[in-house]
Chains A and B, each alone.
Chain A
Amino acid sequence: MAAIDAGGRGAPARSWINDPKIRGAIYQVLLVVSIVLLGWEIVTNAIINLERQNIASGFGFLKNTAGFGITQSLIEYSEEASYGRAFWVGLLNTILVAVLGIIVATILGFIVGIARLSSNWVISRIAYVYIEIIRNIPLLLQIFFWYFAVLRAVPNPRNSVEFAGSVFLNNRGLFMPRPIYETGASAIAIAFLIGIVGSFIVRRWAHKRQMETGQQFPVFWTSVGLILGLPILTFFAMGMPIGLDFPELKGFNFRGGMAVIPEFVGLLLALAIYTAAYIAEVVRAGILAVSHGQTEASYSLGLRPGPTLRLVIIPQAMRVIIPPLTNQYLNLTKNSSLAVAIAYPDLVSVFAGTVLNQTGQAVEVLAITMLVYLALSLLTSMFMNWYNARMALVER
């Protein structure tokens, strides 16, 4: 104390080295410099070592011919395509399973989370057992379980399970008729879009009307009618411009139509069921965070349990639910990389697996793969943060 007092009263020669501000700044500058140096060192060291060991480097390999096949591709791909093309195939497969997984996991998670709080003892116990079992078994094992469960449960192609002579299920996948678009088919797509836009407008109008007059309007059924009915009407009006390509058993397997491969089904099931268990707990926590008084107030206003949940509890619970829900979405996307274990051709399997091996350029391939997952995660976070900001409590 005495020393500080002495300094404060204007002792003339206090060394700058003892000034906590300057000291702090120096340490911070040193830290930043050493981190930059460390990064620099890692990069140059890697480059020097790669050069010394005569290992090829650079990104030119992306233009080379891939030469291998991929089971499932959302875009056109053949063995003559480039490694760069294979990258897109893998990325789209990852996005496909992640997006569908998120949708299924969210729906299932909300159902289980609400069921967990049900006053019905059996339902809440079932939800409890589901959550405890699924959360406590490693995901990789669950992926294997679902994959081999799916494989073993269904017959071989020659004894396929058949639905209406056009849908076939066997251990090579689920084969369905593929739509063939003829002229005039685009009108149906336009009708579909009009339906979506129309139902938005109806929803806004109904909301406004309810605010003003208190009268409700069957928005849900109107929207279903618009989104489904309008395209169906157009379909018949245009003279049925969509044909179907039916799958047919030829030789070993079904040809034609479109197929859902068992690897995809196994992975999607495992990811959705696993993540849903966590989402259920997030949802339960969110609902419990809403004061019970809200429910009582809602009941005393005469709302039934359904509208109470939908209009009073969930909107308030969402504020608690969204941030941890974002985490679960990120986890699901990253967990989808376990696909490599069951041969689902995702980004890790195709790009960080086969391409890495054929080219041997581990540093470049893994850097690209990591960047892609980083970008996917950041995009998901951005979207969820935007959604969170929208749902946040607006204080007037």
Chain B
Amino acid sequence: MKKYMLPVVVGAAMGLTATAASSATLDDVKSKGFIQCGVSQGLPGFSNPDDKGNWTGLDVDFCRSMAAAIFGDATKVKYTPLSAKERFTALQSGEVDVLPRNTTWTMSRDTALGLNFAGVNYYDGQGFMVRKELGVSSALELSGASVCTNTGTTTELNVADYFRANNMPYEIVAFEKADEVVQAYDAGRCDVYTTDASGLYAQRLKLTNPDDHMVLPEIISKEPLGPVVRQGDDQWFNIAKWVGFAQINAEELGVTSANVDEMKGSDNPAIKRLLGVEGAFGEAIGLGNDWAYNVIKSVGNYGEMFEANVGPDTPLGISRGLNALWSSGGIMYAPPIR
């Protein structure tokens, strides 16, 4: 036995020197033929599997858009459900290629974790949900309340800041998984459930009687949610950034999945550049020139994704608000493609 142990051990040591995270993510993705996409463990409207195991949501659509840009086929995605705690390690270690997981863009995450945020796909803010029977109409009346939330999120810090700033005592009950937070809140462990406002609307659907609960008007934080990639691979970072920008630009220019083919014949130079009729913008990020065409054709522009996943006609029923285009009262804004 001893004789054979040695080469195995030495071999294992050698194997470890292979890098944990390769810098050319695009080449890796192309050679394996799909994108490994880190998503939530089930947040309706953002990333949620249905009863057949198909994932849908705004974040899932981001993964599909990237797959469309790279492969011309939005289905070439595999999903890894990650807890809030696991998500950054999974991305750092190369287990996933991109992480659109309703993740708040903060300075420490952007700078100290070896990660880059590739834009914002949903402007959110932290809110509070309470039982209607409590008769509370403002978050300032929550002094002494028990607050349920997730561990490992910015919400835990925001709620501490908010209650301290307003000199209100509180009790924080932090669970690892969102489902357990919902159950505990539903069982009456807490007076308040706090997370990003979009998440409150989504999780409310899981409660026994969703109509008995209301979201308070106060938004206590800025939570720009966006997809995350590893630092040190600028090409991949650019692709992630510009896929998102292309969809916002498409909405601004009126290009939708329905009319993208006829728009190819448009005289508008901005549309020509977007759809790859003019210029070679795809080449600069290592893709074909029809990258944005494929994204819009198979997934749609930003407005379409919003309406389909979280908009007023969905169970979540969230209005555009801050997420409307800059030209119609929101702050969704993308640099031009030129």
- Residues on A close to B: CB < 8 A? 27, 30-31, 34-35, 37-38, 41-42, 45, 49-50, 52-56, 67-71, 79, 148, 151-152, 156, 171-172, 250-253, 255, 262-263, 340-343, 345, 349, 353-354, 356-360, 362
Contacts and interface: CB of A to CB of B under 8 A. Distances in A.
B107 interface: no
Contacts of A360: 88, 108-109, 112-113
A336 to B, nearest CB: 15
Given A171-B189, A342-B180, A357-B152, A55 B113 contact: yes
A136 to B, nearest CB: 24
With most chain B CB atoms within 10 A of its CB, the pick from A69, A79, A251, A349 is A69
12 contacts: A37-B10, A55-B114, A68-B156, A69-B170, A148-B183, A172-B171, A252-B143, A253-B144, A342-B180, A357-B84, A357-B151, A362-B89
B206 interface: no
Interface stretch (B16-24, B236-244, B262-270): B16-24
Counting from the closest, the 9 A-B pairs by CB-CB distance are: A357-B152, A53-B114, A69-B172, A55-B114, A360-B113, A151-B187, A56-B112, A353-B151, A251-B144
Contacts of A354: 151-152, 156, 174
B164 interface: yes
Interface string B148-164: 10011100110111011
A343 B112 CA distance: 27
Contacts of A349: 151, 174, 176
B106 to A, nearest CB: 10
A70 B16 CA distance: 39
Contacts of A362: 89
With most chain A CB atoms within 10 A of its CB, the pick from B134, B160, B163 is B160
Interface in B1-40: 2-3, 5-6, 9-10, 12-13, 16-17, 19-21
Contacts of A152: 187
B161 A67 contact: yes
A54 B231 contact: yes
A71 B187 contact: no
With most chain A CB atoms within 10 A of its CB, the pick from B12, B189, B191 is B189
A255 B145 CA distance: 11
A71 B145 CA distance: 12
Interface residues of B, number: 60
Nearest to B183: A148
Nearest to A340: B176
With most chain A CB atoms within 10 A of its CB, the pick from B17, B157, B177 is B157
Contact of A67 (B92, B112, B160): B160
B92 A41 contact: no
Given A34-B13, A151-B187, A360-B88, A341 B175 contact: yes
The SS class assigned to the A binding surface is helix
A195 B171 CA distance: 39
Contacts of A68: 156-157, 160, 172, 174
A291 B169 CA distance: 62
B146 interface: yes
Contact of A263 (B109, B173, B230): B173
B157 A358 contact: yes
Contacts of B312: none
Contact of A255 (B5, B17, B144, B177): B144
B152 A356 contact: yes
A54 B232 contact: yes
A259 to B, nearest CB: 9
Contact of A343 (B88, B163, B184): B184
Contacts of A45: 16-17, 20
A151 B184 contact: yes
Contacts of B16: 38, 41-42, 45
Contacts of B184: 151, 342-343
A250 B85 contact: no
B144 A252 contact: yes
Given A68-B157, A251-B143, A263-B173, A53 B232 contact: yes
B329 to A, nearest CB: 34
B188 interface: yes
A38 B232 contact: no
B128 to A, nearest CB: 13
A53 B23 CA distance: 10
Given A49-B20, A252-B145, A358-B157, 16 more contacts: A30-B6, A34-B6, A34-B10, A35-B9, A38-B9, A41-B13, A53-B21, A53-B92, A68-B160, A172-B171, A251-B144, A341-B177, A343-B184, A353-B152, A358-B152, A360-B88
